[in-house]
Structure 1
Amino acid sequence: MNQPNRATTAERASRTVLSTADPQTAEKVKPDSPAGAPKRPGLILATILVGYFMALLDGSIVNVALPSIHEKLHASGAGLQMVAAGYIIAYAVLLVTGARLGRILGHERLFKAGLAGFTVASLACGVAQNTGQLITFRVVQGVAAAVMLPQVLSLIQQTFQGEARARAMSAWTAVLASGIVVGQVLGGVLVTANLFGWSWRPVFLVNVPIGVVLWVVAARTLPSVRPPSTGAGNKVDLAGVLTLSPTILALVVPLVLGHDEHWPVWGWVLLVGSVPLLALFLAVERRVAARGASPILPGRVLRRPGIKPSLILIFLVMVVYAGNLFATAIHLQGALGFSALRTGLAFAPCAASFGLVSFYWRKIPAHLVRRLALVGLLIGAVAMAAQIPMFKDGGYGGGWFYVDQLVLGFGIGLGNAPTMTLALLNVPVTDAADASGTLATTAQLAQVVGIATLGTLYLSVAPGKALHSAGHAMAALSVAAMAVTLVAAVFAHYLYRLDRRQRQAAATTATAATAA
């Protein structure tokens, strides 16, 4: 006897997430059609996921290279933050536009174009001669990533069917979850190896041979699907892009540069100005929707149950995650004298636990996931609190630091990993792509804000220069991160109660239907 109400989280989540690719594209490749059967599906999946992983790594791989960049290029604290954040700023601003362009021009075309641009920009970063050049090429990297990465989910949708698609999605989730932290580890390995005496440069140059090989394989294997020629979703929301971009820049740039520039007047003007710019963006989006066009931020998506609190929860968690990684990497090397390799490996426990939780959370029964997300964030807050005594006296806790990293990755992963997928459960298939893009953009923008705000807090509290900060700066950062994580836990609790009410309402409806 079938029991649909007892479907696992994996089954429910897979049905929803798999629909987030372009529905019009999905119609072009029928699940049971012989023409839809891909050649070398394993090679296709490996190609797009390695490209995806490579771009995710570059969001964090540079963190452990910052002291070397500071030494070789004489970069300021603000310059180091821009090297780290410039990539994610460009990515966050243009991610949704990249997804829309894929629908218009073809997902495989945009993947290859983004991969080519990313590879060339990586080469340019690797040979940069000063901080200004490095920041510029990092932004170009971010633009290329925004073109390439949104195509991965759609390529999985159009290439795989049934159980193969579910497995591909699980692999995609694991890559998404672990990419940031693995970047820290790999960065440490490359900087310590000091290949050819190039110091920090291999952190970027390693992308070049990988990118070339991936492009050749992608050109030979990726399925080509002609994009649809009609529909509101086949136009770029230029007005939205032109108003969202300055809004984000007005918020982030003062946060990144303010400390090093001693908080100038122009910084405060930009921060205040970001509020009316946000209002302007929302007004523009409403007008775009009223015309029957497809805005970057569809209002109907935000009105779906659970979407807004999920966005806030994801934003807060990623602020803590990215900001803590950025500051801790600088602190371990600058204040405690860790090598780049030792610093990178210090994050391995966090990467392992975060990745495993993100891969296996789908096996948790659906009715327990929301409750465990709350518990996970509380565990994450405790792990952040445990950092305070570890750092405040100038140490790092020895072996307990690594245990704490393991616990932190577990808690944050359990709180964050299911939220994006579960947020899509109540979104219609026609809106699923926009909802997924909105959630992904939120996560990327949160990384920028995390580096800017928590990074600025660390630099402001630390005596002297950023690379010679004291333990009490990390203790202050840990207090702030703990507080933000607790706020995220409040939203997790709200989502749990909302989910419980929806289940009760569904059960009541089912009972009434049975009685009738």
Structure 2
Amino acid sequence: MTMTQTTDLPKVRETPAPRPRGTTLLAVILLGQFMAILDVSIVNVALPTLRTDLHASGAGLQLVIAGYIISYAVLLVTGARLGDLAGHRRMFLLGLAVFTAASLACGLAPGSGSLIGFRLVQGAGAALMTPQVMSLIQHHFTGPARVRALGVYSSVIAGGVVAGQVAGGLLVSADLFGAGWRTVFLVNVPIGLVLLAAGPRVLPRGERRTGGGLDLPGVLTLTPAVLLFVVPLVLGHELGWPAWGWASLAASVVLFAAFVVVERRVARGGGRPLLSPRVLRAPGVAAAAAGLLLGPCTWSAFLFTTTLHLQGDLRFGPLGSGLMFVPCVAAFALVGLNWQRLPARWHRRLVPAGFAVAASGYLVIGPVADGGVLYETVTAVIGAGLGVLPIAMTVALANVPAEDAADGSGLLLTVMQLGQVAGVATIGTLFLVLAEGGGSTRHAEYGTGWALAATALVASAATLLAVRRRAA
């Protein structure tokens, strides 16, 4: 799941364009953003139904979730660069078209393998579309109108998570036309078609940009590095940890090292690397990035494992399990949308404190795993703790030079998305192993609760270090 997004762009040269009607423009781009966020979480409650219908393995379920986030994370910065080069209007519409077509293909997928492939394409479409949303807001809204637009944008980011869990439950339970889980993908199609019809009339023209450049060597190195790392983690348990999996992990280490070399070479040649080494050297950024990797890691793993538990031992239906997440994500939204109301001197300390609060909730999730009010209260504590993720982004970027702000935002957003992939791949695998070994998802909740708590505590320590380095 994507928690928050910001894109600070370099100075650019634009040809004048008539200012569009603000409300209509905002409605179109934010509805596209909403669909992209929705699809991170809407699939969670459909997993048990999907597994039964397609006879999908546990690893297959993980790839259905992670596949979307993998391509979204890897291509996010590239999507922003393409917006700079070809225009935000063009890239938004292209990404929306790819996303809509892939959603239709997902809804019609005949098996888990094809579904995973279409989810990768869907994530690529989202990566082209969503970076343009913040850019369009920045360039076509000013003063109080921009403040209001950014407020609505934040609400959409938070609300997409809530709506995904609840809407997924409603759609699967309704079983419209006997489509079952397929409706969680097909719901995007009519919305996407309406936006594709309205977009050319609403989105501003004349935005071809000259800043930046596409770091193709970086993309071609990072993409296989991520895939070679994540795929064996997801499939290893299911296949008995074969030799090719270990070889894949070793190859990913080599490619990550090669990526660092490639990026340094691009920077020395005067280009704009995908992830700027200068950003990583800014005080506190590396430590904050560690927190922004581990925090979303726990969030995605928590959503994945808890859904399987609710629809496993607790026998919840898709709608019931979706509604169980409402206190959690509502608490997340409450903190994420209101932290700026608190005294400024508190802001930096809220991040490590929030991760520590989330760790306390994870620690007791196993003992209260029978459901009920106490269980929902604990999940709300977890959501409130992770609501500090928008603050973590702000703290991390505080010491990044203004000319590197776009690269800093891209780095941290990519790290957050990869954290979600890692959470499903690692802690999700642990849950599946424990559930098989102990014969119950309740048993698995105990073990994964400890793993989630430990990960959240490491995130707390990393962000505390970032705060201290920023203050130094």
Q: Provide the residue aligned with 2:42 in structure 1.
A: 61
The residue correspondences of 1:206-217 to structure 2 (distance < 5 A) are 206-217=187-198
Query: Per the alignment, in what secondary structure is the counterpart of residue 463 of structure 1?
Result: helix
Residues of 2 paired with 1:226 and 1:39: CA distance? Answer: 13
The match for 1:435 among 408, 418, 426 is 408
- The CA deviation at 1:293 is 0.9
Residues of 1 paired with 2:61 and 2:425: CA distance? Answer: 11
- Number of aligned positions between the proteins: 468
Query: Per the alignment, in what secondary structure is the counterpart of residue 109 of structure 2?
Result: coil
Whether 2:152 is the aligned partner of 1:171: answer yes
- The CA deviation at 1:144 is 0.7
**One-letter amino acid of the structure 2 residue matched with residue 222 of structure 1:** L
The match for 1:489 among 433, 452, 460 is 460
The match for 1:274 among 239, 245, 252 is 252
Residues of 2 paired with 1:225 and 1:413: CA distance? Answer: 38
Query: Per the alignment, in what secondary structure is the counterpart of residue 420 of structure 1?
Result: helix
Residues of 1 paired with 2:197 and 2:81: CA distance? Answer: 25
Query: Per the alignment, in what secondary structure is the counterpart of residue 238 of structure 2?
Result: coil
Q: Provide the residue aligned with 1:407 in structure 2.
A: 381
Q: Provide the residue aligned with 2:322 in structure 1.
A: 344
TM-score, normalization: structure 1? 0.87
Residues of 2 paired with 1:252 and 1:413: CA distance? Answer: 26
| Deviations, residues 69-112 of structure 1 (Å, cap 9, x unaligned) | 11111111111111111111111111111111111110111001
Q: Provide the residue aligned with 1:382 in structure 2.
A: 360
| Deviations, residues 384-429 of structure 1 (Å, cap 9, x unaligned) | 11212123xxx23x21011111111111112x22111232222233
Q: Provide the residue aligned with 2:173 in structure 1.
A: 192
Query: Per the alignment, in what secondary structure is the counterpart of residue 129 of structure 1?
Result: coil
Whether 2:231 is the aligned partner of 1:253: answer yes
For structure 2, the 5+ residue unaligned runs are: none
Query: Per the alignment, in what secondary structure is the counterpart of residue 260 of structure 2?
Result: helix
- The CA deviation at 1:152 is 1.0
Cα pair 1:254 1:268 within 8 Å, conserved: yes
The match for 1:262 among 240, 258, 264 is 240
- The CA deviation at 1:181 is 4.3
Q: Provide the residue aligned with 1:506 in structure 2.
A: none
Residues of 2 paired with 1:83 and 1:469: CA distance? Answer: 23
- The CA deviation at 1:37 is 7.3
Query: Per the alignment, in what secondary structure is the counterpart of residue 219 of structure 2?
Result: helix
- The CA deviation at 1:228 is 2.8
Identity rate, percent: 50
From the CA coordinates, give the structure whose radius of gyration is larger.
1
Cα pair 1:55 1:145 within 8 Å, conserved: yes
| Deviations, residues 90-137 of structure 1 (Å, cap 9, x unaligned) | 111111111111111101110011001111110111111111211111
For structure 1, the 5+ residue unaligned runs are: 1-16, 30-34, 502-516
- The CA deviation at 1:498 is 2.9
Query: Per the alignment, in what secondary structure is the counterpart of residue 28 of structure 1?
Result: coil
| Deviations, residues 205-255 of structure 1 (Å, cap 9, x unaligned) | 0000111111222211111233234x5x1x211111111011101110011
- The CA deviation at 1:182 is 3.1
Residues of 2 paired with 1:295 and 1:432: CA distance? Answer: 13
Instruction: Out of 124-133 and 38-47, give the one that drifted further.
Output: 38-47
| RMSD across aligned positions (CA) | 1.8
Cα pair 1:384 1:481 within 8 Å, conserved: yes
Q: Provide the residue aligned with 1:475 in structure 2.
A: 446
Cα pair 2:169 2:323 within 8 Å, conserved: yes
Cα pair 2:85 2:208 within 8 Å, conserved: yes
Whether 2:346 is the aligned partner of 1:368: answer yes
Whether 2:125 is the aligned partner of 1:154: answer no
- The CA deviation at 1:454 is 0.8
Cα pair 2:229 2:249 within 8 Å, conserved: yes
**One-letter amino acid of the structure 1 residue matched with residue 432 of structure 2:** L
| Deviations, residues 171-215 of structure 1 (Å, cap 9, x unaligned) | 222333343343122111111111111110110000001111112
Residues of 2 paired with 1:41 and 1:228: CA distance? Answer: 22
Residues of 2 paired with 1:439 and 1:115: CA distance? Answer: 24
Cα pair 1:60 1:184 within 8 Å, conserved: yes
Q: Provide the residue aligned with 1:140 in structure 2.
A: 121
Whether 2:26 is the aligned partner of 1:39: answer no
Residues of 2 paired with 1:357 and 1:139: CA distance? Answer: 31
- The CA deviation at 1:28 is 3.2
TM-score, normalization: structure 2? 0.95
Whether 2:399 is the aligned partner of 1:426: answer yes
Residues of 2 paired with 1:201 and 1:107: CA distance? Answer: 31
Residues of 2 paired with 1:81 and 1:166: CA distance? Answer: 38
Cα pair 2:89 2:207 within 8 Å, conserved: no
